[in-house]
Amino acid sequence: EAAFSRPLRWLVALHGEQLVPFAALGVASGGETRLLRNADETSARVAAAADFEGVMSGAGIMLDMDTRRSAILKAAEDLAQSVGGVVPAGSKGDLLDEIANLVESPTPVLGTFDPDFLDLPKEVLIMVMRKHQRYFPVEDAEGKLLPYFITVANGAIDPPTVQAGNEAVLRARYEDARFFYKNDLARP
C-alpha cells in the first residue's frame, strides 16, 4: 500500500498530449496541476507533458532541486553581504537542503534581532535559528555572530510583514532561551 506524508490531492499524467488515465490512492489522473497557494492563479492546465516544466517555471516554481538550492544560497549570501556578513559554512549543508525541500518558489528575507541577545552563547542562538526556525544565521568574516538572520518564504510575499513576523517569533524564542539559560546557571 502506498502512502505519502501529505494527502495526495491531484495527479497529472500525460504522455505527449494524451492523458494517461488511472487512479492512485483514490485520485484520478488529469491534466490540471496546482500552483502556489498565495498566487493569483492557483491552478493551470498542462496541455502536453513537454509543457509541464514551462507551466511551473512560469508560475515561479523551481522544479529542479539543485537550481532551487543554488538560488536560495545565492540570495542568502547576497543578503548577508548587504549587512557586512556571511552565511556560515555550517548552514550550507543540511539546513540548506531542508529549506530547499520546504519551498518551491524561494523568497529569502533578511531579519534582525536585538543585539542584547548576543550575550547568550553563540551555540544557543544558532541552534534556535537553525533547528527551531530554519533560519540562516549571519556571521562576520571572523565567525562572530551578527544580529541578523535570513528566513526563506515560499512565493510572493509582503517582505516587511514576513520580516516583522519572523523577528517577533525569534525574539520570543530568544527570551525563552535566556530564561532557561539563566535558570541553568543559577543551579549549583
Q: What is the pLDDT of residues 15-32, one digit of tens each?
A: 999 999 999 988 999 999
Q: Is residue 179 in some structural domain?
A: yes
Same domain, 88 and 129: yes
Is-contact 104 55, C-beta < 8 A?
no
Same domain, 107 and 85: yes
Is-contact 165 105, C-beta < 8 A?
no
Q: Is residue 2 in some structural domain?
A: no
Same domain, 27 and 90: no
Q: Is residue 6 in some structural domain?
A: no
pLDDT at residue 188, as a whole number: 79
Q: Is the pLDDT of residue 187 over 80?
A: yes
Domain of 38, in residue numbers: 14-58
Residue pointed to by grid coordinates 530554519? 134
Q: Is the pLDDT of residue 186 over 90?
A: no
Predicted confidence band of residue 172 (pLDDT cuts 50, 70, 90): very high
Q: Is the pLDDT of residue 90 over 90?
A: no
Same domain, 88 and 177: yes
Same domain, 23 and 85: no
User: How many structural domains does the chain have?
Assistant: 2
Q: Is residue 167 in some structural domain?
A: yes
C-alpha–C-alpha distance, residues 55 and 141, integer Å? 41
C-alpha–C-alpha distance, residues 38 and 67, integer Å? 22
CA distances from 34 to 42, 133, 153, 161, 165 (A): 6, 27, 18, 25, 27
Is-contact 22 13, C-beta < 8 A?
yes
Same domain, 86 and 122: yes
Q: Is residue 89 in some structural domain?
A: yes
- Strands 136-139, 18-19: pairing is unpaired
Query: Whole-model pTM?
Result: 0.88
C-alpha–C-alpha distance, residues 125 and 131, integer Å? 10
Q: Is residue 25 in some structural domain?
A: yes
Same domain, 45 and 70: no
Same domain, 113 and 147: yes
Same domain, 75 and 97: yes
Q: Is the pLDDT of residue 123 over 90?
A: yes
Is-contact 76 68, C-beta < 8 A?
no
Same domain, 95 and 176: yes
Is-contact 12 32, C-beta < 8 A?
yes
Same domain, 20 and 83: no
pLDDT at residue 40, as a whole number: 86
Q: Is residue 7 in some structural domain?
A: no
Residue pointed to by grid coordinates 493569483? 40
Read off φ and ψ for residue 79, nearest 5 degrees: -65, -45
pLDDT at residue 3, as a whole number: 77
Mean residue pLDDT of the chain comes to 94
Read off φ and ψ for residue 120, nearest 5 degrees: -80, 155
Same domain, 49 and 81: no
